[in-house]
Structure 1
Amino acid sequence: MVLPEGSLALLETLRGGLVVSCQAPADSPLYEPSVIAAIAQAAVLRGAVGVRIDTPAHIAAVRQRVQAPIIGLWKRQIPGCEVYITPQFEHARAVAEAGADIIAIDATLRPRPAGETVVELIGQIHDSLGKLVMADVDTLEAAIAAVEAGADLVGTTLYGYTPATAGQTPPGWELLSQMTLLGKPAICEGGVASPEMTRKALDLGAHAVVVGTAITGIDLQVQAYCRAIAPAEDHRL
């Protein structure tokens, strides 16, 4: 497989940098394309080397305001299937048409929607869309399979969020260290909650680090603070 033109330069742009995941719950006031685009633009203006964006509408809005690389995905719930990050080629195509440079897919070993495999999906994205693929994985076995299937980057994104990693708390430091030996850029994503953790990920060999909730997750952050202070508040009442 021949990488799309400019792919190596694109990957080099991400090296050693921070990618900010700009997402919001569907019921949040932040879940507006223009708001997500503003957050993404602010991140890039302050030094982020790229952004990670969910849904074609948000990707298209961000693309109008940001020239930095966009890792795009589309979370879609399919009945009877646990795989939800860009699960099928039709979703990948929509993400590409919206302006993403890299397409993130669930590349865990869980059963997929009928009719497609990770190998086929990556091949279609490369051949039909001319885009790089970031494989979101949870285990070393999944990472190895994704690399063998042709993934261009592998991320620890789903560590701690699947039955295979139940009870584990991200970041997956050991998984990251193992993934750096696979010959593809390893991306640390999930549970990175401070600048110091970002530095640790890079020291362990991460090609880049994706941070979401700790920077842009206003809804989740506020909920966490409020839960923490609720007992004291109840006591005062």
Structure 2
Amino acid sequence: MKKQELFDVIKGNVIVSCQALPDEPLYVEEKSIMYLMARAAKQAGTPAIRTNSVRDVVAIKEETGLPIIGLIKANYDNSDVYITPTMKEVDQLVEVNTDIIALDCTFSKRLNDTSINTFIREIKEKYPDIVLMADISTYEEGVNAYKCGVDLVGTTMNGYTEQSIDANITNLELVSKLSKEISIPVIAEGRIHYPNQVREMLDAGAFAVVVGGAITRPLEIAKRFIDAAKGELK
């Protein structure tokens, strides 16, 4: 599917993030079960899936036939970024025909102190037709990624980096500000727990909305209900 076709499919919709990390209840080492979550998301009407790891990209594409926003979470010493942090992960995602590749485009410390601008340039030189989604945490990072030539900007990392905590801007505010400044799709993602928040994000200018934990992480969902019973819900 070409870039414009992808954009036409996801515009105004909810993209479901189906991920499970090794320390989470739905992670099965022998065989991923995330394709079942993706099956449910497809039946609910999502036009695309966001997922982590080569095995889940492959399994979910096979199960659903939907376009995939793929990433690989990898930790490296002396690096604060972990979402598709190096060319190694980009290569792996390209190899399995990932439709959109998401990567950390924050100003956080990278391996070998490589700048995000340099990394984006190297990716585009190697894969000229690649569709890149920049996961950012601040307005400045979003504008920078846009100027570097990414295809979509997502607010995924807002509130998870030191610079975004210092900036003290909500995802809704960030979506609104970026959508007025840049001419590529702004994807709202992060701490979207309720349906009304989806509508708020779209009304604020989001091109599409990614929802993950509120749909596909039963531990987080159950804990919110249990915390509410204890009077601890914030």
Of 24, 27, 39, which aligns to 2:23?
A: 27
Percent identical among aligned pairs is: 34
Structure 2 counterpart SS, 1:180:
helix
Of the structure 1 ranges 115-124 and 199-208, higher mean CA displacement relative to structure 2 is found in 115-124
1:87 lines up with 2:85 in the alignment: yes
1:53-107 deviation digits (Å, cap 9, x = unpaired): 0111111111111222110011111112111111111111112223321010100
Aligned residue number for residue 154 of structure 2: 155
Correspondence 1:165 to 2:187: no
Aligned to 2:135: 136
Q: For this pair of structures, how many residues does the alignment match?
A: 228
Matched with 1:105 is 103
Spell out, residue by residue over 1:128-165, the C-alpha distance to the aligned partner (whole angstroms, 9 max, x if none).
34320000111110001100111100011111111012
1:213 is matched with which residue? 213
Which residue identity lines up with residue 91 of structure 1 in the other structure?
E
Per the alignment, residue 67 of structure 2 pairs with 69
Would you say the 8 A contact 2:159–2:165 is kept in 1? Answer: yes
Matches within 5 A, 1:164-183: 164-166=163-165, 172-181=171-180, 182-183=182-183
Give 1:227 shift.
4.1
Contact 1:188 1:201 in 2 (8 A): yes
The Cα shift of 1:229 comes to: 4.0
Q: Deviations over 1:136-195 (max 9, x none)?
A: 111110001100111100011111111012278885111101111211100000011111
Q: Provide the TM-score with structure 1 as the length reference.
A: 0.88
Looking at structure 2, the residues matched to 218 and 174 of structure 1 have their Cα atoms a distance apart, in angstroms, of: 28
Q: Which moved more, 1:142-151 or 1:96-105?
A: 96-105
Unaligned runs of 5+ in 1: 233-237
Partner in structure 2 of residue 11 of structure 1? 7
Range that drifts further, 55-64 or 114-123: 114-123
Measured in 1, the distance between the counterparts of 2:169 and 2:47 equals: 22
Calculate the aligned-residue CA RMSD, in Å: 2.2
The residue matched to 1:61 in structure 2 has which SS? helix
Distance 1:120 1:82 in 2: 17
CA distance in 2, matches of 1:17, 1:106: 23
Could you tell me how far apart the structure 1 residues matched to 2:178 and 2:83 are? Answer: 20
Alpha-carbon distance change, 169 to 69 in structure 1, aligned in 2, over 3 angstroms: farther
Whether the aligned pair in 2 keeps the contact of 1:159 and 1:168 (CA below 8 Å) is no
